[in-house]
């Protein structure tokens, strides 16, 4: 197997990939932080592909500032769509398998049944729209790709909901947390494990997949679980989305069905509470 290029390596998922690859002794990963490998710089990308002749390209680079994106459509689209075009073209030319990370925000979130890959994607935010556009451009340039939609990512790395709640829980007596948005937290270490399993097994079942941890919860219940596990004594108050207005609209229900990932990718998926406990033990 040739090298495995990881774009956006300095972000949360990139750091988790580095940790899991080290634990598994997975060889040939080349971690490329944004400063060294801008996915909008086509000349630099072409040089990297020529130099490494990669078997796989993992794209963790993305514009993820959900509310800010409402005012920065052009920048979000450049990174989340045009950058993916650049990588897809090179993957097609070099016979490289592309692994693209996407999001539950491609859905409107108006239903109440777990979402499958064939359900209509109807994003209600700029972030969700540009991530969906990134999914849609890939097949124009290569048919050797995996798109993994995930949700509510957290880990011991970078900024995320778990670390924010732990910080605020220490600083405040009361926290108001939304209870009417339902989804599934995903431990980025587990997602990294899924990605490396695809590579290690040289899986050829290309296409679109949903991957999050098992189960479902609200942001409020997620916060309560974090405080219980960390023995943080902060009063937690459930509030409706309408009581916490944000620039971008979030899906109210974005629980994803993982049947396809479990059967075709051969991955075992832990329950979100078990993975949260694992993350908390590492944060300790």
Q: Which residues are catalytic?
A: 127
**Scanning the structure block, which residue is given the tokens 């459509």?**
73
- Rounded to whole angstroms, the Cα distance separating 149 from 158 reads 20
How far are the Cα atoms of 18, 46, 53, 173 from residue 3, in angstroms, in the given order? 14, 15, 7, 50
Which residues are registered as beta bridge partners of 141?
none
Strands in 207-210's sheet, in edge-to-edge order, are 29-32, 4-7, 56-59, 97-103, 145-150, 207-210
How far are the Cα atoms of 11, 87, 148, 178 from residue 59, in angstroms, in the given order? 11, 8, 11, 31
**Scanning the structure block, which residue is given the tokens 């880990």?**
155
Whether 58 contacts 39, CB under 8 Å? no
Whether 212 contacts 151, CB under 8 Å? yes
- Rounded to whole angstroms, the Cα distance separating 81 from 206 reads 20
């Amino acid at each position: 197997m040739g090298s495995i290029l990881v774009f956006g390596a300095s972000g949360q998922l990139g750091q988790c990939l580095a940790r899991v690859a080290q634990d598994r002794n997975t060889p040939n990963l080349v971690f490329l932080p944004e400063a060294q490998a801008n996915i909008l710089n086509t000349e630099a990308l072409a040089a990297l592909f020529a130099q490494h002749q990669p078997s796989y390209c993992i794209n963790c680079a993305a514009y993820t500032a959900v509310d800010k994106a409402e005012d920065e459509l052009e920048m979000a689209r450049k990174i989340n769509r045009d950058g993916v075009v650049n990588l897809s073209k090179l993957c097609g030319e070099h016979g490289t398998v592309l692994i693209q990370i996407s999001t539950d925000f491609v859905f409107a979130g108006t239903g109440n049944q777990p979402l499958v890959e064939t359900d209509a994607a109807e994003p209600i935010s700029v972030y969700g729209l540009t991530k969906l556009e990134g999914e849609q451009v890939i097949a124009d340039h290569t048919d050797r790709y995996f798109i993994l939609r995930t949700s509510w990512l957290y880990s011991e790395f970078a900024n995320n909901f778990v670390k924010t709640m732990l910080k605020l829980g220490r600083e405040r007596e009361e926290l108001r947390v939304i209870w009417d948005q339902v989804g599934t937290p995903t431990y980025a270490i587990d997602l990294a494990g899924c990605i490396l399993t695809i590579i290690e097994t040289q899986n050829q079942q290309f296409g679109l997949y949903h991957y999050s941890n098992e189960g479902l919860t609200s942001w409020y219940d997620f916060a309560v679980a974090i405080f219980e596990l960390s023995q943080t004594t902060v009063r937690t108050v459930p509030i409706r989305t309408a009581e916490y207005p944000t620039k971008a609209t979030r899906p109210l229900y974005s629980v994803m069905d993982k049947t396809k990932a479990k059967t075709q990718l051969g991955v075992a998926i832990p329950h979100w509470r078990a993975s949260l406990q694992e993350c908390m033990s590492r944060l300790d």
